[in-house]
């Protein structure tokens, strides 16, 4: 019995010990598992922290390499994009950008502050509304081409054809010093002012406007070299020239000097170097005049030195409109100065029209002219008083009177934009009763 009890107690003790050992083993295993997971997590975290700077550095370097290679291109592309946006902006707003607007924009960009102000003011105002004025000489206005007898009389007296005809006695409300004048709206052909505008007179170097038109429309190379020869020397008026015989310039330079500085040898060389020679060139000038409807016009040579080159203000307005269609003629005629290489020296040439250097004028095309038979002459395209105008002044008596007449016309139009009454003032009109038609 005692042995059985002892055995039973021993068995129980063994079982309890085994159970206790099992629990201890399970707890130890669980603790080891938790410890292992903690270590793995800690190692992973440490590895991640260690790798993070390396990865970020690699990413930064990878991003920096293309950025460094494209930085300049990106900036340039940005500028191009801004220019494209600026250029496209008017179109998004529904505006139409014409070639004239582009040309004026370029001109404004190069202009001085006073010039930009003058052009902006001209664009901002409403078109001037004036009562058109037309005056004619009381004597018969010459419509036929004056002959050799008139040229002889002019040479003997030193008077212009207009003075011999009595055209300077024609009164007008603006008191112009030119015996012939025409002011016409370039867009509508409305004549705002006409003074003996159908009189046929010598036109001097205004001829060179047709010389330029024929040269440009022939599409001859402007880079071709042309040499001044003895044939280009003036034997009509024996005028001087700074283009010495033997000097070689491009056709483009000759055209520039003929339009800007009214260089006679340059204009003659343009005609002489034309395919077929001078005779073919003069024929082309007269053909172009007929195509433009210039029935009062005749040319015998390309410089204007001959008094037989004759036209009317009405015809010259048509010529100015046609020449204005060519940007090259516009740019060269309104150029202020040009330095030409003549032989071993450089010669500076300047524009013969002083208004080109006046910042209050917006001139798109111009040409001056003078011989005794023609008096002082001027043709211009200019923007003023909200209009684009063609202005023609022939047979002006004083050296600066043609420019002063242009200023008188401008003041007249500008007063019309600010005054409630349009047209010439009554007191000025009253000075010539019965002589004016409106």
Q: CB of 368 within 8 A of CB of 353?
A: yes
The active-site residue out of 178, 179, 197, 262 is 262
Active site residue 360: no
DSSP-derived 3-state class of residue 159:
coil
Query: For the chain, first and last CA: distance in Å?
Result: 160
Q: How far apart are CA 35 and CA 119, in angstroms?
A: 88
Q: CB of 354 within 8 A of CB of 193?
A: no
Residue 296 structure tokens: 């009062």
Distances (CA, A) of 165 to 138, 160, 162, 326: 11, 9, 5, 36
Active site residue 321: no
Q: How far apart are CA 196 and CA 178, in angstroms?
A: 10
The active-site residue out of 205, 273, 307, 383 is 205
The active-site residue out of 177, 195, 208, 367 is 208
Q: How far apart are CA 248 and CA 243, in angstroms?
A: 9
Q: How far apart are CA 366 and CA 355, in angstroms?
A: 10
Active site residue 311: no
DSSP 8-state secondary structure symbol assigned to residue 304: S
Active site amino acids = 205, 208, 262
């Amino acid at each position: 019995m005692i042995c059985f009890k002892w055995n039973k107690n021993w068995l129980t003790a063994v079982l309890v010990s085994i159970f206790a050992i099992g629990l201890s083993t399970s707890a130890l295993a669980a603790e080891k598992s938790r410890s292992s997971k903690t270590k793995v997590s800690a190692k992973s975290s440490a590895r991640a922290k260690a790798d993070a700077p390396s990865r970020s550095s690699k990413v930064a370097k990878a991003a920096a390499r293309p950025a460094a290679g494209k930085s300049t291109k990106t900036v340039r592309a940005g500028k191009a994009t801004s220019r494209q946006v600026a250029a496209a902006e008017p179109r998004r707003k529904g505006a139409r950008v014409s070639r004239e607007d582009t040309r004026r924009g370029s001109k404004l960009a190069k202009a001085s502050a006073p010039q930009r102000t003058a052009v902006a003011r001209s664009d901002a105002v409403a078109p001037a509304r004036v009562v058109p004025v037309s005056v004619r000489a009381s004597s018969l206005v010459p419509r036929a081409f004056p002959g050799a007898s008139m040229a002889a009389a002019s040479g003997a007296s030193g008077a212009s054809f207009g003075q011999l005809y009595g055209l300077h006695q024609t009164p007008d409300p603006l008191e112009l010093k030119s015996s012939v004048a025409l002011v016409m709206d370039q867009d509508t052909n409305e004549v705002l002012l006409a003074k003996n505008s159908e009189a046929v007179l010598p036109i001097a170097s205004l001829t060179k406007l047709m010389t330029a038109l024929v040269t440009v429309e022939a599409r001859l190379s402007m880079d071709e070299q042309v040499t001044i020869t003895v044939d280009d020397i003036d034997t009509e008026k024996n005028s001087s020239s700074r283009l010495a015989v033997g000097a070689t310039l491009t056709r483009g330079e000759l055209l520039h000097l003929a339009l800007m500085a009214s260089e006679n040898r340059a204009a003659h060389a343009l005609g002489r170097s034309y395919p077929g020679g001078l005779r073919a060139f003069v024929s082309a000038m007269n053909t172009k005049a007929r195509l433009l409807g210039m029935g009062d016009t005749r040319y015998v040579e390309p410089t204007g030195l001959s008094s037989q080159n004759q036209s009317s203000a009405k015809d010259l307005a048509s010529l100015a409109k046609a020449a204005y269609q060519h940007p090259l003629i516009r740019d060269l005629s309104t150029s202020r100065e040009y330095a030409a290489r003549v032989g071993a020296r450089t010669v500076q040439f300047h524009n013969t029209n002083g208004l080109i250097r006046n910042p209050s004028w917006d001139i798109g095309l111009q040409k001056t002219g003078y011989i005794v038979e023609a008096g002082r002459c001027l043709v211009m395209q200019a923007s003023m008083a909200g209009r684009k105008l063609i202005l023609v002044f022939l047979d002006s008596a004083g050296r600066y009177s043609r420019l002063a007449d242009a200023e008188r016309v401008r003041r007249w139009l500008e007063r019309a934009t600010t005054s409630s009454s349009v047209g010439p003032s009554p007191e000025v009109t009253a000075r010539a009763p019965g002589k004016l038609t409106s």
